């Protein structure tokens, strides 16, 4: 089968013929229809995350937003059928036995394996997955629309849920990219008033089309004053990987507001403790999501309440897609179709 393979950090992905993976007793083999391209894939390919770098396998097939059809079943698998449409998320497998799993926080399981990082992912024609951790995908969603829900969609859904966003509250979304354009829609589905910030006029136009009440240029030097006029934000959700976005987000909050950490800058954040204490701000982080979160996001999308905007590319165009992603030139989410 053909696959896009990372051979070493910082190198372009190589399109290669590789062996078809054989499913184990508890696995399924999935014929990939679509795989979203996530900014995390860039970080992994560039070796930006030292904590994860130690666990990443090389050579590696990237990709953790996967939708396809079951091609083969392991001998123990009775919950799925050949031809069934499923999605495969960032969390490839969790133990189900540790304290965090038993608390319903399997996304924090210390024994988890990660699709397209510690095991091969979906930048390929076929991939192996654990039957217990795939999720059925309804026919109401195309493969291209559904695939990004399995990381981008579930990540912002859980972040907004963790923040406790309520109807009528003001939510600022910093960065209207693959995650941000979904965050605008999920926050709107919660009944929030949504304000979107980006430096790209086309992305701000997209945010307006998706229901943002007001869009703002992230480079505007008068942002702080503008947020004061609006009464400050109850929640500021940062999907951008720019450290400057976090500085602006914290300044956007009203007292008692919540900074929601989603985007991962390569350098540490720096926040003055006195600023946090003086405003009694909360900081909430979110790590992708659980299978229950995934089911909720897919249901929202199937009901038409959120929709991922996508542009589809061939698998062998992956390096061009990476280059566009680095430039911030992707509107919505890029998807690879093998």
| Distance from the Cα of residue 197 to its chain's centroid | 18
Kindly state whether residues 236 and 123 are assigned to the same domain: no
CA nearest neighbour of 124 among 28, 11, 18 = 18
CA nearest neighbour of 13 among 239, 321, 312, 318 = 318
Q: What pLDDT score was predicted for residue 199?
A: 93
Kindly state whether residues 277 and 319 are assigned to the same domain: no
Kindly state whether residues 87 and 210 are assigned to the same domain: no
Contact 23, 74 (CB under 8 A): yes
Sign of CA dihedral 77, 81, 82, 86: negative
Computed over every residue of the chain, the mean pLDDT equals 95
Kindly state whether residues 20 and 140 are assigned to the same domain: yes
Q: What pLDDT score was predicted for residue 289?
A: 96
Domain housing 67: 2-151+289-337
What element of type H or E holds 133? none
2-58, pLDDT tens digit by residue? Answer: 999 999 999 999 999 999 999 999 999 999 999 999 989 998 998 887 777 777 899
Domain boundary among 269, 285, 301: 285
What mean pLDDT do residues 223-246 have?
A: 94
DSSP-derived secondary structure for 153-174: HHHHHHHHHHHT--TT-EEEEE
132-174, pLDDT tens digit by residue? Answer: 999 999 999 999 999 999 999 999 999 999 999 999 999 999 9
Domain boundary among 242, 263, 285: 285
CA nearest neighbour of 290 among 170, 140, 135, 78 = 135
* Res. 225: pLDDT tops 80: yes
| Percent of the chain at pLDDT exceeding 90 | 88
Helices (H), 86-200: 99-102, 143-146, 152-163, 180-189
The model's pTM is 0.94
Look up the CATH number of the domain holding residue 330. 3.90.180.10
Query: Which DSSP category does 150 fall into?
Result: G
**Which of the four pLDDT bands, split at 50, 70 and 90, describes residue 265?**
confident
What element of type H or E holds 126? strand 126-130
Look up the CATH number of the domain holding residue 221. 3.40.50.720
Kindly state whether residues 138 and 199 are assigned to the same domain: no
Q: What pLDDT score was predicted for residue 58?
A: 94
**Which of the four pLDDT bands, split at 50, 70 and 90, describes residue 210?**
very high
Kindly state whether residues 21 and 58 are assigned to the same domain: yes
**Which of the four pLDDT bands, split at 50, 70 and 90, describes residue 237?**
very high
81-92, pLDDT tens digit by residue? Answer: 999 999 999 999
Kindly state whether residues 304 and 275 are assigned to the same domain: no
What mean pLDDT do residues 223-245 have?
A: 94
What is the spatial distance between Cα 202 and Cα 86, in angstroms, rounded to a whole number?
32
* Res. 233: pLDDT tops 80: yes
Q: What pLDDT score was predicted for residue 271?
A: 86
- Say how many domains are in the chain: 2
303-325, pLDDT tens digit by residue? Answer: 999 999 999 999 999 999 999 99
* Res. 337: pLDDT tops 90: yes
What element of type H or E holds 336? strand 333-337
What element of type H or E holds 233? strand 233-238
Kindly state whether residues 188 and 233 are assigned to the same domain: yes
Contact 235, 169 (CB under 8 A): yes
Kindly state whether residues 63 and 128 are assigned to the same domain: yes
Q: What pLDDT score was predicted for residue 54?
A: 74
**Which of the four pLDDT bands, split at 50, 70 and 90, describes residue 272?**
confident
CA nearest neighbour of 121 among 59, 161, 64, 199 = 64
What mean pLDDT do residues 119-128 have?
A: 98
Kindly state whether residues 229 and 120 are assigned to the same domain: no
180-203, pLDDT tens digit by residue? Answer: 999 999 999 999 999 999 999 999
CA nearest neighbour of 290 among 190, 176, 161, 175 = 161
| Percent of the chain at pLDDT exceeding 70 | 100
Kindly state whether residues 142 and 39 are assigned to the same domain: yes
Kindly state whether residues 207 and 333 are assigned to the same domain: no
């Amino acid at each position: 089968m053909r696959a896009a393979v990372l051979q070493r950090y910082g190198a372009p992905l190589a399109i290669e013929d590789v062996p078809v993976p054989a499913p184990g007793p508890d696995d399924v083999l999935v014929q990939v229809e679509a795989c979203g391209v996530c900014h995390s894939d860039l970080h992994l390919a560039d070796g930006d995350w030292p904590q994860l770098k130690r666990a990443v396998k090389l050579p590696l097939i990237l990709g953790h937003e996967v939708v396809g059809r079951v091609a083969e079943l392991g001998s123990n698998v009775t919950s799925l059928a050949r031809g069934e449409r499923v999605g495969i998320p960032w969390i490839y497998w969790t133990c189900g036995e540790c304290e965090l799993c038993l608390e319903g926080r399997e996304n924090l399981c210390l024994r988890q394996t990660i699709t397209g990082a510690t095991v091969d992912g979906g930048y390929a024609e076929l991939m192996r997955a654990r039957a217990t951790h795939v999720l059925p995908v309804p026919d109401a969603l195309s493969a291209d629309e559904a695939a990004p829900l399995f990381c981008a969609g579930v990540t912002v859904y859980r972040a907004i849920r963790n923040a406790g966003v309520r109807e009528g509250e003001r939510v600022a979304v910093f960065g209207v990219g693959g995650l941000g354009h979904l965050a605008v829609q999920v926050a709107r589905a919660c009944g929030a008033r949504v304000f979107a910030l980006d430096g790209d006029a086309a992305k701000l136009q997209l945010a307006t089309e998706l229901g943002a009440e007001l869009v703002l240029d992230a480079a505007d030097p008068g942002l702080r004053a503008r947020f004061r006029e609006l009464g400050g934000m109850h929640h500021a959700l940062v999907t951008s990987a720019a450290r400057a976005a976090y500085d602006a987000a914290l300044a956007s909050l009203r007292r008692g507001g919540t900074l929601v950490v989603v985007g991962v800058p390569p350098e540490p954040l720096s926040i003055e403790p006195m600023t946090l204490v003086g405003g009694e701000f909360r900081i909430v982080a979110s790590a992708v999501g659980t299978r229950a979160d995934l089911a909720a996001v897919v249901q929202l999308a199937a009901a038409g309440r959120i929709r991922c905007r996508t542009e589809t590319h061939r698998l062998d165009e992956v390096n061009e897609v990476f280059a566009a992603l680095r430039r911030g030139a992707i509107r919505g989410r890029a998807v690879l179709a093998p």
